[in-house]
Amino acid sequence: MSKVTFIGGGSFGTALAIQLAKKNNCVNIFDRDIEVCNDINIRKRNSKYLKELEIPENIKAYNNLDKAIHDAEYIVLAVPSHVIRDVTRLLKGKISEDTIIISIAKGIEQGTNKRLSEVISEEIPKNPVVILSGPSHAEEVAIEIPTTLVSTSTNMKYAEKVQELFMTPNLRIYTNEDIIGVEIGGAVKNIIALAAGVGDGVGYGDNTKAALMTRGMKEISRVGIALGGKEETFFGLTGMGDLIVTCTSMHSRNRKAGILIGKGFSLDDALKEVGMIVEGVKACKAFHELNSKIGVSMPITDGLYDVLFNEKCPKEVVRELMLREKKNETH
């Protein structure tokens, strides 16, 4: 039995917490919203994020961080990518150096363009850091629909510990030594999924989505390899797998937001309608900035950036993409 604390009581963190609790681990959840904590502790529900799903008795929610992380062997950062640094700073001096930090966020830090594992290691350099990623919607993990994830770290013995911690009959965890590839794949696929949603909202069909996903896969691998990832990683669970599930499912926040934008909603209105963090928006801005610095071609990302931040018509962007200079598919 392990003691695990989730920082953030959102849908995916809660879904994973439920799976660990069912394995008889001692699970704490910290959340800033006292109503979420009370809902979990008193009514054994998280109505804000996973309606009507029963929370096991061995999950306790705290509105006090120090109490939530006391003696934790594992801390899961179940928060959006843009607050990873701030949250990690809160852990300084409060946890053992043996505590394994697990991030389930997907993105890179805007401004520094650093991967989240790098951000965490900068703030608490003595703690092992593991990234847990892959094609997974909280709604399905919570009700134990078979799901696969990938555990990676700069020190694979910790990735293997996390693999063992999360493995269940319905949650299969693979390991992969390519931490760069895993993180970049998880971040860029949100951009492509957001673009796919825009296409759906405009009214394009299966042909367009197939083209977008396939060329998006090329974009993911191109930038990932340039940053030091391995090509084979991008055709695995955290690249191709995550891309498929995020571009095709209505569970996907990125796709939902994209559909609304394609229908004419402003970015702000679309985000309000979705009501949760849409990681593809921040990722699009970060990678648009990054690719201009490293000289990697990311036409879908650049086109989406124009739609999101320059209010360009999606159909016009698609037209420009279709009429670019001729090239070989493999390039």
DSSP-assigned letters across all residues of 257-280: HHHHHHTT--HHHHHHHH-S--HH
To the nearest 10 degrees (0 to 180), the angle between helices 314-322 and 179-202 is: 120
- CA dist 282 and 85 (Å) reads 15
Q: Is 291 in contact with 302 (CB distance < 8 Å)? A: yes
End-to-end Cα, the chain, rounded Å: 50
Cα-flanking dihedrals φ and ψ of residue 150, to 5°? -125, 135
Active-site residue, from 106, 114, 161, 189: 189
Whether 189 is catalytic is yes
DSSP-assigned letters across all residues of 217-233: HHHHHHHHHHTT--HHH
3-state secondary structure of 171: strand
* Residues labelled catalytic: 189
